[in-house]
């Protein structure tokens, strides 16, 4: 199995790609918001290694650890943040890591 950092990088790249692909053919959707992934449990090896590497933070509100804005999208679009977060989470889930997509409007 790939290392935590390799899995994170694969997921991050998938998140970047989905945003770039969308923007290459469409204007940026106008609804502003945020997106993040929650990885549970917080004491899993994967979650601990993400936190230790500075790639995630403990999330006291929702539990687990939070990866904010997967893919690092600089748009304000909630739709694009959700698409990127879903792509990030899908990669993690393919490796059997428990992860969820979350978002909220600004």
Residues 72 and 16 sit within 8 Å (Cβ to Cβ): yes
Tens digits of pLDDT across the chain (106 residues): 899 999 999 999 999 999 999 999 999 888 899 999 999 999 999 999 999 999 999 998 888 999 999 999 999 999 999 999 999 999 999 999 999 999 999 8
Among 67, 83, 89, which residue's Cα sits nearest to residue 33? 83
Predicted confidence at residue 61, as pLDDT, reads 84
Distance of alpha carbon 7 from its chain centroid, rounded? 12
Residue whose structure tokens are 């290694």: 49
pTM: 0.94
């Amino acid at each position: 199995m790939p290392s935590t950092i390799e899995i994170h990088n694969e997921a991050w790249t998938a998140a970047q790609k989905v945003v770039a692909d969308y923007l290459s053919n469409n204007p940026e959707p106008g609804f502003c918001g945020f997106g993040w992934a929650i990885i549970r449990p917080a004491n899993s090896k994967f979650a601990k290694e993400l936190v230790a590497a500075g790639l995630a933070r403990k999330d006291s509100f929702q539990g687990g650890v939070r990866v904010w804005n997967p893919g690092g999208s600089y748009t304000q679009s909630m739709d694009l943040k959700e698409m990127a977060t879903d792509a990030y989470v899908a990669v993690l889930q393919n490796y059997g890591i428990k992860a969820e997509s979350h978002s909220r409007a600004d």
